[in-house]
Structure 1
Amino acid sequence: MRSRNQILLIGDPRSFMVLAMKNELEQRFRVVSCEANCKAVRMLGADVPTTILYYVDGPADPDLTEYLRDVILNDGRDFYINIVGDQDSIDSVYETIPQEQISAAFLRPINVREMVDQLSAAASKKANSAIKKKILVVDDDPVMLRAIKGWLMEYYRVYVVNSAMNVITFLAKNSVDLILLDYEMPIVDGPQLLKMIRSEESTKDIPVMFLTSKSDKEHVLTAANLKPEAYLLKTMPKKDILNNITEFFKRTS
């Protein structure tokens, strides 16, 4: 018999909605449940499942959302965070966890069975993606991060971060096959970050492509001097960006 995927259900166990979700989830998943507070989730330690459904009833607990955000960034596994709540509750999660890090947000009222169908399909797709190449996308624009992730996730395992500091933290615990790097970012820009990556023994060989809106000669030459794998423009057709990445992996495989 095929083993079922595991899911962590976070929410008040006395809530009718949480009980209804748990009952339906148990038809498809092995369910681990805990209350919606940081202490309860921390107690799971390294055993925390990578698929999470968080029922947000009222404003999200900032300690819990900060912990979940740090787990996504530092654990080294692919996490799929899903949230359920009204719009204000969902927005309170986004105050701590960037929206692009959330796999799905289900706005109440919901059809529990349809939601579980969607979660089950996503879990199966996740299991089938284990052999895909891993790409880290770096951009300070959350809209662009979501768009690029959407383009790539059918073909690759995609991670997104929004600052140089988060890149360094992520790479300290994770390996990737390619970095797509924006040029202009606050505090540390793309070229500076690439120099930092190249200066570390553990990351110096990671291939990097620029993916940016900067098309003037000065920016292109500055990047070219750093010898990235490619300099791609965000204004390029999506299929051309994907083709460049595909051809790169064909050349290097």
Structure 2
Amino acid sequence: MSTSDPATGARRSLVSARGVHVVMGRIPARDDIDHDLVDAAHLLGADAAALGSVDESRLPSFLTARRWVRDIVTGRLGRAWRGFEATPRGVKPRLAGSTLDVSIAHAGDRLVVGVVEHGRIGVDIELVAPVFDQPSLARRLCTPAERRHADGLESTGRRAWLTQLWAVKESYAKAVGEGLALDFRELAVAHLRNNHTVRGVLTPASGVTHARIAVSWVDAAPSRSRSSVRAIV
């Protein structure tokens, strides 16, 4: 896989250690995914039946994300590829016949894909945007201590800090299978390092100044539940 800057459109490896693999890059144009459509049956496996329900505008991110997952599974991990389980949209994708765990996120024209060999993974990418200036969002996102810290920052720094905070909490919520059902006001990021189930929370540099990325890796075998998460691709 390419390690070039994501602005070129090639994938860039963000994490590749201890069985955790995360890549990011630019979502290709619609005309650049024809090979994925031809290959859809092998790429998607049982989930190919739901391809017709994917909106045309989402096809590039949907298919590219799953191709990147396959590349990690077969290329980096040397595992056989059996596609994805049939999965309703808005539910975390699961690999067929595998205990590997997968997470996918996108924001704007950027896509992030993570695969972990042991445990569960959640990835998130968020654009540093004016929405993070809204007091109502800070009330939904922050513990009291985090809110006090945010209030002490100047406006540009506060927006970037709150964006990163959201990305970390969202990645953790995906990893544990709770998604946005998790009350972020009760989740203190500073305490995650003391949580014995958390194997790592990473905030790798994206190479994109207007975006923040987070990766959470937690213990335990991947959940078999169909816990809903935010529909991201």
TM-score category, normalised to shorter length: under 0.3
State TM-score, norm by structure 1.
0.26
From the CA coordinates, give the structure whose radius of gyration is larger: 1
Choose between structure 1 and 2 for higher RCO, CA contacts under 8 A separated by at least 6 residues: 2
